[in-house]
Structure 1
Amino acid sequence: MRVMVASLAAVLLASPALAADPVQGRWITEEKDAVITIAPCGAKLCGRLSKFLVAPPQGIDQRDVNNKDASKRSRKLLGMPVLTGFVENGDEWRGTIYDPKSGKTYRSILQRKGSNQLTVKGCLGPFCQTQTWRKAG
């Protein structure tokens, strides 16, 4: 019996903990209009709008005109963080996502799906919408 318990304990200790796949890197949004670069921001991860693939209405100098906070409406979208405060939670990453088109911020969950896909979920209360972003080449 002791041998069986010791064997079981050895297997459990040798099993890796469920960990989230890394999400750092450059990702093309589902609409294929921008590249978001996810990287460490202190102890957490954030994602910045690093490139426009489709020019916004006011060109590459587009400002955050839809922000609910009037003091932020003059900041440039290019370089702005749209993913903030992401921390690993089991097999996913949790933080917030900002949508500059609506000016709204949502709870968000990121999860790798293979080497070239990232699911990006934005939630308001119990309602969520999921997009699939592709790895930028």
Structure 2
Amino acid sequence: MKNLMITCCALLVSVFTFAQSTDPVIGKWQNPSGEGKIEIYKKGDKYFGKLYWIKDANKKDEKNPEATLRGRKIQGLEILTNFVKDGQTYTGGQIYDPKSGKTYSCKMTMKGRDKLDIRGYMGVSLLGRTETWKRID
């Protein structure tokens, strides 16, 4: 009986620890056009995302406003930066759009387990655009 109680307690602790350490936004996502795949991860207490795959792997960051960065490849770029979790929403971050070379304020909102709304905006969130990313394996 004592061994059973110890096993049950250990199981509950491991389940509780696993539930706290996972976060629904962490993982791999695909944008609606299918041109890019983004991996979202956590560094410290903030969330980031890098463009780990694009259709044209040799494409350069030609539209970047900083001339010294225009020769770098887009694949591998960290395009999501500094998000903080607030319930099912991640706020306070920015998204870089390599197609335009612009950086926008951004918020991400989980829509179920496999959909993520990404809203990029300038100034006020009302003045922006939302796209829905889908989780991939």
Alignment TM-score > 0.5, same fold = yes
1:123 alignment partner in structure 2: 121
Which one scores higher on RCO, CA 8 angstroms, separation ≥ 6?
A: 1
| Letter aligned with residue 117 of structure 2 | T
1:107 alignment partner in structure 2: 105
The answer to whether structure 1 residue 42 and structure 2 residue 40 are counterparts is no
Using structure 2 for the length normalisation, give the TM-score: 0.76
Looking at structure 2, the residues matched to 107 and 134 of structure 1 have their Cα atoms a distance apart, in angstroms, of 21
Aligned length: 112
Q: Secondary structure at the match of 1:61?
A: coil
Looking at structure 2, the residues matched to 69 and 88 of structure 1 have their Cα atoms a distance apart, in angstroms, of 30
Q: Secondary structure at the match of 1:79?
A: coil
Looking at structure 2, the residues matched to 116 and 22 of structure 1 have their Cα atoms a distance apart, in angstroms, of 9
| Letter aligned with residue 107 of structure 2 | I
The residue correspondences of 1:70-109 to structure 2 (distance < 5 A) are: 70-94=67-91, 95-109=93-107
Q: Spell out structure 1 runs of 4+ moving beyond 2 A.
A: none
Q: Secondary structure at the match of 2:130?
A: strand
Q: Secondary structure at the match of 1:71?
A: helix
Q: Secondary structure at the match of 1:109?
A: strand
Tell me by how many angstroms 1:22 deviates.
Answer: 2.7
Looking at structure 2, the residues matched to 75 and 40 of structure 1 have their Cα atoms a distance apart, in angstroms, of 24
The counterpart of 2:28, out of the listed 19, 26, 29, is 26
1:134 alignment partner in structure 2: 134
Tell me by how many angstroms 1:76 deviates.
Answer: 1.4
| Letter aligned with residue 75 of structure 1 | R
Tell me by how many angstroms 1:133 deviates.
Answer: 0.3
Looking at structure 2, the residues matched to 115 and 88 of structure 1 have their Cα atoms a distance apart, in angstroms, of 16
| Unmatched runs of 5 consecutive residues or more in structure 1 | 1-20
Identical positions, percent: 38
Q: Secondary structure at the match of 2:128?
A: strand
| Unmatched runs of 5 consecutive residues or more in structure 2 | 1-22
Tell me by how many angstroms 1:63 deviates.
Answer: 1.4
Tell me by how many angstroms 1:89 deviates.
Answer: 2.5
